[in-house]
Structure formats: structure tokens, C-alpha cells
């Protein structure tokens, strides 16, 4: 398989973590969104929404959206429960990740690390508040003392949430202020084969 990727994207990190934990061989192709490469025709043909990650299967089929990639690769593995309430819990947290964590914390972090917090302070404050709310919700979700977010077993929902939660302090929202979140992050990072190779945002991403 090919992963159309960017090393500084935590949405892409989700797919890299799962591919490695499943021991699947893959080729990484960087699509540099800092120079507009995600919006060129060849990438829009892979993903109508013009973003990474996109997973290309050996059949040539292409799968955009980090959550869809996790679900596709997780099928039939211990990281995705069989259909039923267990799987529904995984969906619950995957949708939460996209609506609250990705749209709040991830955007606030990107803005803070690229100087857009200064050029668009009201947008930044809004996204940061949303991100802080997401961390509080996650802490409540972990308060039942089960080890992982969807229950007793590590799942693709943990991989999805880890991506932008673990680096929330970059946005000014430290996830480790919540004891339950800190302990969960440590458990996720200790799962076999977990590699966090999220790269720093390149200088070309900074607003001048």
C-alpha cells in the first residue's frame, strides 16, 4: 500500500501508527501541503477534499480521511471490535475526534505553531476553547477507569485521539493537566510497536 502523507501531520500519524502496529509494509509519499501540493489535480484525483492522509490499496483504490483509513485497516484485527456495541463505541470516539479534537485542538495547535494565532486571534481563541472542552470531555470519558477510550481493549479510537491530544500543549491546552488523560496517553504510547514520529512543522508553514 501507499500512504500519501506529510511527516508533520498528526492526521497522517494515525495511519502510520496503525500500519506499523499491524506490521503492514507501506510506502510513504509526501504531499507537501505547505506548498499547495494537496490541491493539485493529481492529488484532488486521490481525494476530492484535497488533503492528506490518503491510503492507496494494492488494487489502486484510494481511501481519504484518517478515520476511514483506520477503520479499513483495522477490520478483522483486535483493534476493531466486531459489529455491535463494542464497535459502536469506537465509532462514537472517532466521530468525537473529528468534531471536537480535530476541529478544535488540532486547528489551534496549527495556528499557534505557524503564527496564525497572532494574525487571527479571535479564530484562535475559539478553536482553543473548543480544544480545551474536548480535553475535559475526554477526561470524563476516561473516568470509568477502563484502560482505553472504547473500553477494556486498545482500539483504532485510541490511535485517532492520541494524534492531536498528545501534543495539545503546543496549542496551550496541556492534556496532562487531566490525570486520567495523562495515564491513558502513557498506556497508548506503551502499546507494542507504537511509534510517534510526528515531525515539527517546517519553516515554510510559518506566516511572515
Ligand X SMILES: N[C@@H](CCC(=O)N[C@@H](CS)C(=O)NCC(=O)O)C(=O)O
Residues contributing to the site for ligand X (CB under 6 A): 9, 11, 33, 38-39, 50-53, 65-67, 98, 102
CA 52/CA 202 separation, integer angstroms: 16
**Nearest CB to ligand X, comparing residues 9 and 114:** 9
- Rank residues 21 and 66 by Cβ distance to ligand X and give the closer one: 66
Whose Cβ is closer to ligand X: residue 111's or residue 178's?
111
Min dist. Cβ of residue 149 to ligand X (A) = 17
- Give the C-alpha separation, 170 to 173, whole Å: 7
Cβ-based neighbour number of residue 61 at 10 Å: 9
Q: At its nearest, how many Å lie between ligand X and the CB of residue 145? A: 29
For residue 170, give the C-alpha cell. Answer: 503546543
- Between 66 and 114, whose beta carbon lies closer to ligand X? 66
Asked whether 79 and 21 are in contact (CB, 8 A), the reply is: yes
Q: How far is the CB of 120 from ligand X (least distance, A)?
A: 16
Phi–psi pair at 78, nearest 5 degrees: -65, -10
Indicate the residue whose CB is closest to ligand X: 51
d(CA 31, CA 6): 6
Amino acid at each position: 500500500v501507499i500512504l500519501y502523507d506529510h511527516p508533520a501531520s498528526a492526521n497522517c500519524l494515525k495511519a502510520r501508527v496503525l500500519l506499523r502496529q499491524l506490521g503492514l509494509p507501506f510506502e510513504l509519499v509526501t504531499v507537501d501541503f505547505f506548498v499547495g501540493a494537496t490541491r493539485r489535480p493529481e492529488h484532488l484525483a486521490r481525494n476530492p477534499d484535497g488533503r492528506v492522509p490518503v491510503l492507496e490499496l494494492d488494487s489502486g483504490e484510494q481511501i481519504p480521511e484518517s478515520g476511514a483509513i483506520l477503520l479499513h485497516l483495522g477490520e478483522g484485527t483486535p483493534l476493531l471490535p466486531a459489529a455491535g456495541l463494542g464497535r459502536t463505541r469506537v465509532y462514537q470516539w472517532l466521530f468525537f475526534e473529528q468534531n471536537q479534537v480535530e476541529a478544535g485542538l488540532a486547528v489551534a495547535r496549527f495556528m499557534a505553531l505557524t503564527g496564525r494565532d497572532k494574525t487571527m486571534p479571535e479564530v484562535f481563541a475559539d478553536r482553543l476553547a473548543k480544544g480545551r472542552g474536548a480535553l475535559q470531555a475526554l477526561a470524563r470519558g476516561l473516568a470509568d477507569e477502563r484502560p482505553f477510550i472504547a473500553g477494556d481493549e486498545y482500539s483504532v479510537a485510541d490511535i485517532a485521539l492520541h494524534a492531536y491530544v498528545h501534543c495539545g500543549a503546543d496549542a496551550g491546552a496541556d492534556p496532562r493537566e487531566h490525570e486520567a488523560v495523562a495515564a491513558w496517553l502513557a498506556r497508548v504510547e506503551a502499546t507494542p510497536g507504537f511509534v510517534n514520529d510526528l515531525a515539527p512543522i517546517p519553516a515554510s508553514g510559518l506566516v511572515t
